[in-house]
């Protein structure tokens, strides 16, 4: 008979995500994870087997959370360019944007190196591009292309803001997205 879990997998993964964001993928050991979660390192080894499997599970959990937020934003945003901008603004990291961007790039590196995580990122990108595209045009053939472009402009605007963080990142990114929509004549 198996042992009863004192802390749910979801809570463990939430705590580990916070620890991963602080320590970085290369710095998160079972010992540090143990302190962050409140379980023994041996218990974490039983749950995940390897450090790499633990990090993958944490990042898959983060993708699950992003998928849920994206689906909610998609369901609630108007079918218009303003709705597309609204969707993307809901996906912005909020306070601590500069921290989330710089340290988040370390997590992104893991997503790119791991085929399972890379596939999740690819699937999310396709969903996001389709959701944005249908808000930008009624032309099916053009919608996905515009959706990918808008997602790229969004990420680029955020990265460039981080190099020169003058003012609120949300306002800066929203202005760039509004300008882009006018440039492509999104209706």
Per-domain residue ranges of the chain: 9-184
Q: What pLDDT score was predicted for residue 117?
A: 87
DSSP sequence for 32-78: HHHHHHTS-HHHHHHHHSSHHHHHHHHHHHHHHHHHHHHHHHHHHS-
CA angle (132 as vertex; 126, 133 as ends), nearest 5: 85
- Per residue in 11-41, pLDDT tens? 999 999 988 888 888 888 999 999 999 888 9
Mean pLDDT, rounded, of the chain:
87
Residue 99 has pLDDT above 60, yes or no: no
Q: What pLDDT score was predicted for residue 127?
A: 96
Q: Which residue has the higher pLDDT, 168 or 105?
A: 168
The domain 9-184 is classified under which CATH number: 4.10.640.10, 1.10.357.10, 1.20.1280.260, 3.90.870.10?
Answer: 1.10.357.10
- Alpha-carbon distance 88 to 141, whole Å? 22
CA distances from 80 to 148, 176, 181 (A): 16, 17, 10
CB-neighbour burial class of residue 54 (10 A; exposed 0-12, middle 13-18, buried 19+): buried
Residue 42 has pLDDT above 80, yes or no: yes
Instruction: Answer yes or no: are the C-beta atoms of 28 and 13 closer than 8 Å.
Output: no
Tokens of 134: 């249908």
Instruction: Answer yes or no: are the C-beta atoms of 138 and 148 closer than 8 Å.
Output: no
């Amino acid at each position: 008979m198996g042992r009863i879990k004192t802390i749910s997998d979801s809570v463990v993964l939430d705590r580990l995500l916070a620890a991963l964001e602080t320590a970085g993928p290369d710095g998160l050991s079972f010992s540090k994870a143990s302190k962050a979660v409140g379980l023994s390192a041996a218990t974490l080894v039983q749950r995940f087997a390897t450090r790499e499997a633990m990090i993958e599970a944490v990042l898959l959990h983060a993708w699950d959370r992003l998928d849920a937020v994206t689906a909610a934003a998609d369901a609630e945003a108007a079918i218009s360019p303003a709705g597309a901008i609204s969707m993307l603004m809901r996906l912005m990291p909020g306070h601590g944007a500069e921290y989330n961007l710089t340290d988040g790039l370390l997590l992104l590196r893991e997503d790119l190196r791991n085929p399972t995580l890379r596939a999740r990122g690819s699937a999310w990108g396709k969903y996001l591009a389709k959701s944005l595209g249908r808000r930008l045009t009624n032309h099916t053939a053009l919608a996905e292309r515009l959706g990918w472009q808008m997602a790229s402009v969004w990420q680029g605007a955020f990265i460039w803001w981080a190099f020169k963080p003058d003012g609120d990142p949300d306002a800066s990114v929203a202005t760039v997205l509004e300008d882009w929509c006018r440039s492509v004549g999104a209706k």
